[in-house]
Structure 1
Amino acid sequence: MVGAKVFVRVLLSKIALLCCLLLLVSCQADHSTASNQVQVKVSRVVSGQTLDVLGMAEQPNLTSRVRLVGIDAPDFRQRPWGEESRQVLANLIGDSAQPVILEFDLEAKDQNGRFLAYVWKDQQLLNEEVVKQGYALFVGRSPNHKYDQRLERAQQWARLMGKGIWNPEKPLLISPAEFRRRYL
């Protein structure tokens, strides 16, 4: 009888410990998700890597500029890639009345004051999709590396499939960063 009581006590203490751990983990997950995401409306797709949005907490009625983290899209002057890249992102955004989710990493803004974010719509990471369709390059931007692996795989896939800028018949000849250094 004493052995059964000890067994029940040990079992109950293990169950209580497991419940506490589960509660702690779920509270942490909820807190981090809420603090690093915001729902906004896209007012304009500026380029294949930049959006103007409405609904940022500090400026709910003003437009804020957002740069998609981890990608580098062709400049408008890189014809035809710049406009095609912008159009791909605009198509992914779709109806501007539908909100998107901005997810922030370690660094929320760049040196130009733009918000740095991963953009989600309908549970799809748009940063990744623009790269996968071949209309932007993956570029790791320190310290924001949360989805680098996904973005790198998307670029490898686009390259293997000859999508967009990787089309062997009509490739992008200079990277967007090199184009800006040379011509802007």
Structure 2
Amino acid sequence: MKSDLEVRIAELAMQDRSDLKGSEVTVSGFLAGEAEEPLEDGYNYPFIDENMNGILVKSQQKLNHLERGKWFNITGMLDSTHQQEMHVTSEANVEPSHSHKATPPQEKQFISSVKKVVDGDTIHLETPVLGTTKVRFVSIDTPETNYQGQSQGYHAEEATRQLEYLLPLGERVDIHVGDEPFDQYGRLLAVVVKNEQNINLEMIELGMAVPYFIYPNLVNFNEYGEAVVRAKEFCKGIWNPERPIDELPYEFRFNKRGGPNKFVGHHATKMYVEPSKWESVPIEYRVFFLNEKDAKDAGYDKVQDSNQC
């Protein structure tokens, strides 16, 4: 059911349309990412228009009829603070669009500049990319500064300081996105490059981050794996035996929410294990799968109890 107020996604990026905050509107958008895992406040769905302007649609329930790569008409309430966020109450608020619009251009590289360093693997941009200014460094993981109100302390603070050094405010950066451009928070998943330096890789080299590959984003897999082996060998950062980290970042998170929930594959052997046996796969070979079907579809076989990865 459409609202009486139909607006273009592009209008929501305009500062002079702040009058739209808190309004019920209908927009037409192209679903650019999946929402496989729920957050504390529900599910996030990133939509873009034909010119890469974006809006994040938030729902308490999973919208099972949505299909990535399709156009939809979305009716909901714009957030009272962030007008590029919309809240919907049910599947009835999102209907297929029959306007037969073209697929937005699938660009992979963009230019922006750093507005803020949030933590060791997250920044905000001055100029939006694919409709968002929030970037999560893809395929790496740094210690948490604030997860469910808790921090990993020293190592989290060190990773943030190191990224602030590498990426001072205003620094021009190239943003490289993959085939899965968004995470479940609606943040852009990207490799961040400064003057041809891969900052994701550099954080691993410095012992500030670990590889965190979630299928199907596997670009740079071997390079990152070799980097973490070097960091461990030279006892850098979290691998310093005089001040080791208690839990890897993703370990810290899943321990806070009741245990691991992703299947883990060995990139070299193409075998995978149950979530509880994630540590049996060496860190430089770990591939995480959101579900067992993804592991099988990727050509991985399950490890039997008598086998080792």
Mark yes or no: TM-score above 0.5: yes
Give me the whole-angstrom Cα distance separating, in 2, the residues matched to 1:165 and 1:138.
13
Return the letter of the residue paired with 1:109.
F
Task: Tell me the distance in 2 between the aligned counterparts of 1:162 and 1:58.
Answer: 38
Query: In the aligned structure 1, how far is the partner of 2:192 from the partner of 2:130?
Result: 19
Could you tell me which residue of structure 1 aligns to residue 143 of structure 2? 74
In the alignment, the residues of structure 1 paired with residue 165 and residue 129 of structure 2 have an alpha-carbon distance, to the nearest angstrom, of: 26
- Whether the aligned pair in 2 keeps the contact of 1:128 and 1:151 (CA below 8 Å) is yes
Q: 2:172 aligns with which of 87, 99, 103?
A: 99
* Larger Rg, first or second structure (1 or 2): 1
Q: How many residues align?
A: 147
* Cα distance between partner residues in 1 of 2:130 and 2:244: 41
Matched, 1:88 2:162: yes
- Residue matched to 1:49: 121
| Residue aligning to 2:242 | 169
Q: 1:100: Cα distance to partner?
A: 0.4
Distance 1:160 1:85 in 2: 19
Please report how far the alpha carbon of residue 122 of structure 1 lies from its aligned counterpart in structure 2 after TM superposition.
0.9
Query: Could you report, residue by residue, the CA deviation over 1:89-136 in whole angstroms, capped at 9, with x for unpaired residues?
Result: 111113x22310110111100111010000000110000000100011
Q: In 2, Cα distance between the equivalents of 1:65 and 1:41?
A: 12
With normalisation by structure 1, the TM-score equals: 0.75
* Counterpart residue type for residue 90 of structure 1: E
In structure 1, runs of 5+ residues without a counterpart are 1-33
The Cα shift of 1:35 comes to: 2.2
Structure 2 residues not aligned, in runs of 5+: 1-105, 146-150, 258-309
Describe the shift of the 1:121–1:179 C-alpha distance in structure 2 as closer, same or farther (beyond 3 A).
Answer: same
The residue that corresponds to 2:283 in the other structure is: none
1:23-62 equivalences under 5 Å are 35-59=107-131
1 CA distance for matches of 2:201 and 2:248? 18
Amino acid at match of 1:152: G
Q: SS in structure 2 opposite 1:146?
A: coil
Against the structure 1 CA distance between its residues 103 and 182, is the aligned structure 2 distance closer, same or farther, given a 3 Å change threshold?
same
Does the 8 A contact of 1:134 with 1:164 survive in 2? yes
CA-atom RMSD, angstroms? 1.6
Paired with 2:228 and 2:251, the residues of 1 have a C-alpha distance of 18
Say which structure is richer in strand.
Answer: 2
Q: Which amino acid aligns with 2:119?
A: S
